[in-house]
Structure 1
Amino acid sequence: MRKYLFAFCVSALGCIQQSFAQTIVRRDAAIEAMVKEVSADSLRAYVDKLVSFGTRHTASAADKKRGIGASREWVVQKFNEWSKTSGGRMTAFVDTITLQPDGRRISQATLLGNAMGVLKGTDPADKRIYIISGHIDSRVSDVMNAKSDAPGANDDGSGVAAMMECARIMSKSSFPATIIFVAVSGEEQGLLGAGFLAEKAKKEGWNIDALLNNDIMGSNNSSETGIIDNTKLRVFSEGLPAFEMDKAAANIRNMGLENDGRPRQLARYVKETGERYVDHLEIKLVYRNDRFLRGGDHTPFVQRGFAAVRLTEMNENFNHQHQDLRIEKGVEFGDHAKFMDFEYLRKNTAVNLATLANLAKAPAVPQEVKVDVKELTNSTLLSWKKPATGNVAGYYILMRETSAPMWQKKFFTKDTTIRLPYSKDNYFFAVQSVSADGNESLPVVPAVGR
């Protein structure tokens, strides 16, 4: 009996040691330090200040102390404060356009403005841009009401606060790629500020590698169901591409890539990176571009072919969205800060920061990633070329079964080719560039090569 017990203990110890070896999480010390700096108190202060402007309706821009004009000038003022620690790399401004009445949600000529903070990358050859956004405008029940108080604490003061906290912290660090922090206007009037920015980026050829849109992300409870939970965050991502689907459809069908578009790859990246750095938070991937029959500020970007996703709270409370301030039958309606959970917002903000920092520190993606198909084999030969910019320590080859939602295996190599004893019939593959600190680029799914 003792012999068997001893054998069991040795076996169990080996299993435990093996388990520990498999579950070690490697964190970049610099990113970990930035994540720890995210402050619930700072986030609360930003939201309270945004609420203090009374309304931030898109048509309330004329007032110097109340309304959206004053609020976006305050955001730019904060960007300029933080630019002093950026070594001259951060600049801030309000990017404006005058909108004419459209017969729908713009009733008069309106000056639309996005509050922009640009943290320039340190590598002149690196043209990559990463964007984090939240929408600064707010509303009550009537979308055309620009006069009544519309606190907009959670929708979307939470997203703007998360963006600002990332700007405060990241402005003190250097990244090879450029990061843009933006509070967009006109979301409630039809994604107008995001549409303006996305169209500008498309026309000017911006190399946007990823956009994280944060909208309604600071409340831990839901109406109707009464669920209270601050341990889950949703990430919405497009499946089939809205941009030039007719050109991409044949390849998607031939390769079986219905679940592997750029936004979906970005969503997986957010989940893996966010859970690596943020404790007690599970990131739930939702396979829709946005909530059921609704849209957000990432949509104009995916419509133009950019990789963009939406981050939002797990359980929405509709009593606190798009509501006149009132009490009915003992239920208080309105988007007040007192209904928010700022520790939850802290964790969600940290997911954004970790993802942005990991992407901006990483080398660019590997180029010309190919899977060899000149012969029928039960192995898979992959090849690629080094990225255009960045210091590369090696490459990760990711692998998963065709039915798996997340990558299941990861192989490392310093070469630009690898043969794996796994059939391309049964698995999907992708390749990432990796820095010496372990920062990974977004994955690239191989094209057919011979």
Structure 2
Amino acid sequence: MRSITSRRNVIMKAIVVFIITGLLTIPGYTLAGTSNISSNGTPHHPAFVESRDDLVNVQVAHRSSPSHPMAPNTADVNIIELLQQLNEPLILGYLENLTSFGPRETGTPSCDQAAHYIFDTFQNMGLVVRYHNYTDATVSGSNVEATLYGNDTTNIFIICGHYDSVAAGPGADDDGSGVAAVLAAAEIMRNYDFDHTVRFVAFSGEEQGLIGSYHYVQDAYNSNESIVAVLNADMIGFTATGSDGIVGKIFENPASEWIVSFTQDISVIYSDYIGIQLFPQGETWGSDHYYFWEYGYDAVFYHEYHFNDYYHSANDTIDRMNITYSTRFSRLILATLAQMAQQPVQQRPVLEISSISGGLGVTAQINNIGDANASDVKATILITGGLFNLINVQSTSEQTVLNAQGSMQSKAMVFRLGKILITVAADASNADQVTKQATGFLLGPFVLEVVIAP
């Protein structure tokens, strides 16, 4: 026979179970779905790295992208003048000099000799040059950077390639072709004035896992440098057939799609001098643009259309390259860089998630800290977790125009129990997406103990 106390305990347990069950069965609100972004890859990757998982996992706070240069509409006689100076003997000369050092594996004397050659070449051009030295657990080395200062020294545009190669061969296409494009651009652009600052960068440590560019971008991020666009040239000199000589690939992440459009406009406007049509490929991790993406900078990766069969071998030599194609591809990158460096910077909105708070539901505040109005703004709050991980509630707020320096709020209601993860995303048709996460505890309709993730 049960005591009165025992029966009371049973009744209380039944009431608790009833309440919890009720909370778990109340449906959440789902107003909109999220989109998925697919991406294409390329066989190109560092020699000693087989997977993106082998690279450094970068976790940094979101940085606001600077304003983009305005896209060109018509041909510029100054750009044509630059293109006419970039010829096959110039590209071939740089290729012959680079490959004369033999295989240029990072950490070897031949790689150091190539670095000195690049440094001296930049210095003889009258540019401001420095070694960017790095020490890593895998290898130590030096990047070489030359700077052509513009009237505006704040906004920076970068053209880059990697001068190291595998031990097996001289790396004519991988990536002598990209470094030749960098050197040729520097040789030509040094004689002109530009509105914005241009950097010409040759990385080492690429084949060991993008090590040189990782340390370079990390330092740039920590210095809060305003890098507007990065044009990475890696393997732009091989064609398997005649038809390959008029096409190329460009890899981009969503934030960098504007560079793709800009480059495609350049290829059309100056088609008589370039003659290459670019095909966007989406994202890939296999070259020195990758860590620019990871640190929030806009960058693209230019690549030949047909992958080089002699890649990472002793047969990656000049005689197996198409110098005409390499020259035209280099012109495309030069024209894109020069046009960007002299174009007015377009005012644009910049979204920021300034707060995530609890109380009755979740409230997020989104600010436009840019210098232009944001159009078609969408803010989404996703709440997941809870007891037995059964909460998956999403709410979306939309606003047609969010004025510069203006703000909006988005709110999500949910009625459950347990620890939750809150993810807030905001984007606009003319602004980059921003995201922020927080944790909290849900007690019925009340959200408590909200802590924003670093």
Please name the residue that 2:281 is paired with.
287
Alignment match, 1:207: 226
**What is residue 310 of structure 1 aligned with on the other side?**
301
Query: 2:140 maps to which residue?
Result: 111
Matched, 1:136 2:130: no
Q: Does 1:359 align with 2:348?
A: no
CA displacement at 1:283 relative to structure 2: 2.9
* Paired position in structure 2 for 1:233: 248
Once the 2 structures are TM-superposed, how far is the Cα of residue 304 of structure 1 from its aligned partner? Answer: 0.8
Structure 1 residue 95 corresponds to structure 2 residue 135: no
Please tell me the residue identity of whatever aligns with 2:103.
T
Q: Deviations over 1:238-297 (max 9, x none)?
A: 1xxxxxxxxxxxxxxxxxxxxxx321121111111233224363433323222xxx5110
Amino acid at match of 1:42: L
Shift of 1:346: 1.0
**1:300 pairs with 287, 291, 294, which one?**
291
1:81 equivalent in structure 2: 124
Number of the residue aligned with 2:199: 180
User: Residue 111 of structure 2 aligns with which residue?
Assistant: 68
Instruction: Give 1:446 deviation, angstroms.
Output: 11
| Residue in 1 that maps onto 2:438 | none
Contact 1:268 1:285 in 2 (8 A): no
Q: Check 1:384–1:47 CA distance in 2 against 1; reply closer, same or farther (3 A cut).
A: farther
Are residues 446 and 32 of structure 1, via their aligned partners in 2, closer, same or farther at CA, if it must alter by over 3 Å?
A: farther
1:270 aligns with 2:263: yes
Alignment CA distance shift 1:301-1:445 (3 Å)? closer
- Whether the aligned pair in 2 keeps the contact of 1:220 and 1:315 (CA below 8 Å) is yes
In 1, Cα distance between the equivalents of 2:89 and 2:116?
A: 22
1:445 CA drift (Å)? 7.0
Contact 1:194–1:297 under 8 Å retained in 2:
yes
Structure 2 residue 316 is matched with structure 1 residue 322: no
Task: Give the superposition deviation at 1:26.
Answer: 1.8
Amino acid aligned to 1:312: H
Give the fraction of aligned pairs with identical amino acids, expressed as a percent: 27
Distance in 1 (CA, whole Å) between partners of 2:375 and 2:229 is: 28
Q: How does 1:333-412 map to 2 (within 5 A)?
A: 334-368=315-349, 369-371=372-374
CA contact (8 A) 1:367 1:384 kept: no
Per the TM alignment, residue 316 of structure 1 is displaced from its structure 2 partner at its CA by 1.3
Q: Distance in 2 between matches of 1:227 and 1:349?
A: 18
Q: CA deviation at 1:358?
A: 1.0
**Secondary structure of residue in 2 paired with 1:127:** strand
Matched-pair contact (CA < 8 Å) for 1:370–1:446: no
Higher relative contact order structure (alpha carbons within 8 Å, sequence separation ≥ 6): 2
1:171 and 2:190 matched: yes
State the alpha-carbon separation in 1 of the partners of residues 400 and 308 from structure 2: 50
Deviation at 1:156, TM superposition (A): 0.2
Shift of 1:384: 7.8
Confirm or deny: 8 A CA contact 1:274 1:352 kept in the other structure. Answer: no
Whose strand proportion is higher, 1 or 2?
A: 2
Aligned to 1:257: none
RMSD: 2.6
2:114 maps to a residue whose letter is: S
Partner of 1:15: none
TM-score (norm 2): 0.61
CA distance in 2, matches of 1:214, 1:366: 28
What residue identity is the alignment partner of 2:83? V
SS in 1 for 2:278: strand
Q: Give the drift of 1:172.
A: 0.6
Q: Does 1:216 align with 2:210?
A: no
2:236 counterpart SS class = coil
1:127 alignment counterpart: 154
Count, aligned residues: 297
For the 8 Å contact 1:56–1:71, the answer to whether it is kept is yes
Partners of 1:71 and 1:272 lie apart in 2 by 35
Q: Label 1:372 to 1:188 Cα distance change in 2 as closer, same or farther (>3 A).
A: closer
Flag as ranges the 4+ runs of structure 1 deviating above 4 A.
Answer: 371-374, 380-385, 444-447
8 A Cα contact 2:185 2:334, kept in partner: yes
Deviations 1:150-193 (A, max 9, x none): 21000000000001000000011111211110110011000001
SS of residue paired to 1:155 = helix
**Change in CA separation of 1:235 and 1:182 when aligned onto 2, cut-off 3 Å:** same
CA, structure 1 residues 340+373, in 2 after alignment: closer, same or farther (shift >3 Å)?
closer
Aligned amino acid, residue 99 of structure 2:
V
* SS of residue matched to 1:288: coil
Distance 2:280 2:73 in 1: 24
Q: Per the alignment, do residues 171 and 373 of structure 1 end up closer, same or farther by CA in structure 2, a change over 3 Å counting?
A: closer
Q: Distance in 1 between matches of 2:277 and 2:174?
A: 20
Q: Secondary structure at the match of 1:44?
A: helix
The residue type equivalent to 1:300 in the other structure is Y
Residue in structure 2 matching 1:38, options 86, 89, 93: 86
TM-score w.r.t. structure 1 length? 0.62
How far apart are residue 362 of structure 1 and its match? Answer: 1.1
Could you tell me how far apart the structure 1 residues matched to 2:329 and 2:336 are? 11
Q: Which protein has the larger Cα radius of gyration, Structure 1 or Structure 2? A: 2
Q: Are the equivalent residues in 2 in contact too, given 1:278–1:347 (CA < 8 A)?
A: no
Question: How far is the alpha carbon of 1:82 from its aligned partner?
Answer: 1.1
CA drift at 1:366: 0.6
Q: 2: distance between equivalents of 1:289 and 1:268?
A: 15
Q: Which amino acid aligns with 2:84?
A: K
Q: Residues 186, 25 of structure 1: CA spacing in aligned structure 2 closer, same or farther, 3 A cutoff?
A: same
